[in-house]
Structures are given as C-alpha cells and as structure tokens.
A = this chain, B = another copy of it.
Amino acid sequence: MHTDHAPGVLSDVSRVIAEHQANIRSIETVSPSDDRATLYLEIEGDADVGPLVERLGALTVVRQVESAEPLIAIYGKRVIIIGGGAQVGQVAVGAISEADRHNIRGERISVDTIPLVGEEELASAVRAVARLPRARVLVLAGALMGGSITGAVREVQARGIIVIALNMVGSVREAADLVVTDPLQAGVMAVMAIADTARFDISRQRKRRY
C-alpha cells in the first residue's frame, strides 16, 4: 500500500480494517521518503478482502493498494542460529541442507543467523527471538554461554520457542530443550523439529544429549 508519510495514516488505515472485523497481524513501513511511504500489512480474519481493499484505496492518505502473499507462505517458519561465527556457520550448513530437502517437498523453512560476541549482546539477541515473526526454533552455537543468556533462554522457551544448544561450557546447556555436540547435526535436528514433513518429535527428545 502506497500512502502519505505522516502521523495518522496508520490510525485511518487500522480504523477501516477494524470496521471490517479483521485483525492486523503485522505492519512494516518500508522506504519512507519525505512525503510518501510503502506499508506492508498482513491481515487475518474471515472478511472478504475485496471490499476492504476498495475502502482502503478510497482513503485520502492512501495512493495505491495491492494484494500480496503473506511472508509465512514465502519464507515459512524460521530457524534462528546465534553464537560464534565458526559454529554458527557450521550449524547453518546443516540446517540449510536439511531445509532444502523439506522445502523441495513443499515445506517452507528459512535459516536465519547472527554471529555475536558478549554475554549481554547474546542475551538481548536471544530474548528478542520472541519478537521475530515466524521464529520457531533457536540454536545456540558457541563454546561458552551462561549467566544472563540462560535467563533469556528460559524467557523465549516460555513463549513457545524450542531451544537447541551445542555441547558447550556454561549453564545454557541445562536450560536447552536438547543438546547436540556436532554443529551440522544440531542444524539438521533444528529443522526436523519444526518440519511438518519430518517424523521427529522434539517432545520425545526433551533434555537429551547427543
């Protein structure tokens, strides 16, 4: 949706959507310039989108409306890998290779990573996984993680994120749902844990170590 770039645009847009009994799942403002912006909205609800698109297009602040596929249909569920560069890279190779096999069979799984150093930096990144859309499983890929990182692990687990840790020094291993020694295997298992096309039940592996 191309709109004016000014306070109040979203208020007008969301009022119209609410009147159609639909919920806004997400909104992203992309490339705002001085006077215009592009908004991407994901909307859920039973409402027929035709009349909604028409009413949105009729708003004075809206210049153009187009429909697009939701990101979950394109990029799917997300595996998030956080830790040291050496280990993150190898976990990613395992996860990407396994995601490829499932995506060929119609699944959509993406593998997203960030290499970081430092307890506070890692704890913030772990905690923020709960805010990442479509994130389902987190792999902690490092040699030493504990302290506030372990607290952050428990927080994201409480939000429904599965946490796999490499076999490393520190208390993070105690909190993880699963500990895996080989980084490639950890990446593969992370994908299997969330793939509908896999016969792997993480709840039966809970607290095991490989």
Residues of A within 8 A of B (CB): 5-11, 14-15, 17-32, 40, 45, 68-69, 71, 74-76, 84-86, 88-90, 92-93, 96-97, 99-101, 103-104, 108-117, 124-125, 128, 130-133, 159-160
With the chains together, A18 CA to B13 CA distance in Å? Answer: 12
Given contacts A26-B28, A31-B160, 10 further A-B contacts (CB under 8 A): A11-B17, A28-B131, A28-B133, A85-B97, A85-B101, A86-B97, A89-B92, A96-B115, A108-B114, A112-B112
With the chains together, A86 CA to B94 CA distance in Å? Answer: 10
A interface SS class: mixed
Q: Please, which residue of chain B has its CB at the minimum distance from the CB of A116? A: B103
Name the one of B18, B68, B111 contacting A113, with C-beta atoms under 8 angstroms: B111
